[in-house]
Amino acid sequence: MSGFNKVVTSYDEALEGLSDNMTVIVGGFGLCGIPEGLIGKMKSLGVTGLTCVSNNAGVDGFGLGLLLEDKQIKKMIASYVGENALFEQQLLSGELEVELTPQGTLAEKMRAGGAGIPAFFTPAGYGTPVADGKEAREFDGKMHILESSIVGDFALVKAWKSDTMGNLVFRKTARNFNPMAATAGKVTVVEVEEIVAAGELDPNEIHTPGIYVNRVIKGSFEKRIEQLTLKK
């Protein structure tokens, strides 16, 4: 077996090394493009004290909402939460801490984490509560704040296809936070719909090169729709 074969066949292998109090970056936007099986496995592993970094926190009974049921999440870093009664309860009771981050800043923090950029200036959040305690500076007549990057102990990613070497292709808007998440994990685990042989993906059309990926597992997905909206 080649040193570049990233395929694992069990969720136990996929999440080997994941333990309490770790920081876990999770791809997805709402319920779109989330690594469903890996989240389920986090739940069954029972790891607690997690800091989860993800744009949203799922809904009751699906997505990261599953981890709230057993109070596995200590802190959530997200741009938009509260699609979720359990989340609200735990937040109000003080069992859960939330760090709200502008969506673009959150995306850029992950990208920077993967790209060796420890901090960057952004205009988003200047003059708002998000700027509290952060350095502000003017560039070109406009105020910006300094934001720092995020790296996860694990990054859990959902992709459409992977080859055995971990080269990834995403599908439509299920791409969202997944490519940045993939770069920002000390261990990056990817759950995909389809695994193909190395060489099957066009090198010109790979969204995430395999260098960022440690493990790939073929999952099966419910792909629950959060807001089914049809043409009238």
Per-residue mark of binding to a copy of itself, 163-182 (x: CB under 8 A): ------xxxx----------
Strand, coil or helix: what is 55? coil
Written as one letter, the residue type at 149 is: S
By beta-carbon proximity to a copy of itself, the closer residue of 45 and 196 is 196
Residue 103 interacts with a copy of itself (CB under 8 A): yes or no: no
Work out whether 199 is an interface residue with a copy of itself (CB under 8 A).
no
Residue 196 β-bridge partners:
163
> Among other proteins, a copy of itself, none, what binds residue 4 when CB lies within 5 to 8 Å by partner kind?
other proteins
23 binds, among a copy of itself, other proteins, none (CB under 5 to 8 A by kind): none
Compute the least distance from the CB of residue 84 to other proteins, in Å: 10
Backbone angles phi, psi at 40, to 5 degrees: -60, -40
CB of 80 to other proteins, least distance (A): 4
Q: What gap in Å lies between CA 220 and CA 217, rounded to an integer?
A: 10
Contact of residue 103 among other proteins, a copy of itself, none (CB under 5-8 Å per partner type): other proteins
Q: Are 124 and 143 in contact (CB under 8 A)?
A: no
Of 56, 47, 57, 58, give the one whose Cα is nearest residue 23: 47
By C-beta, is 40 or 209 nearer to other proteins?
A: 209
Q: Give all strands (DSSP E) within 40-151, no chain letters.
A: 50-53, 73-78, 97-100, 119-122, 136-139, 142-148
- Label residue 101 exposed, middle or buried (CB < 10 Å: 0-12, 13-18, 19+): buried
DSSP codes of every residue in 178-189: HHHHHHSEEEEE
Cα 25 from chain centre: 4
CB of 132 or CB of 205, closer to a copy of itself:
205
In the bound complex, what is the minimum distance in angstroms from residue 117's beta carbon to a copy of itself? 5
Question: Judged by CB under 8 A, which of 120, 198, 218, 224 binds a copy of itself?
Answer: 120
Binding mask 122-161 for a copy of itself (x = CB under 8 A): xx---------------xx-x-x---x-------------
Number of residues that bind a copy of itself (CB under 8 A): 23
- Which residues sit at the interface with a copy of itself, rule CB under 8 A? 108, 112, 115-123, 139-140, 142, 144, 148, 169-172, 203-205
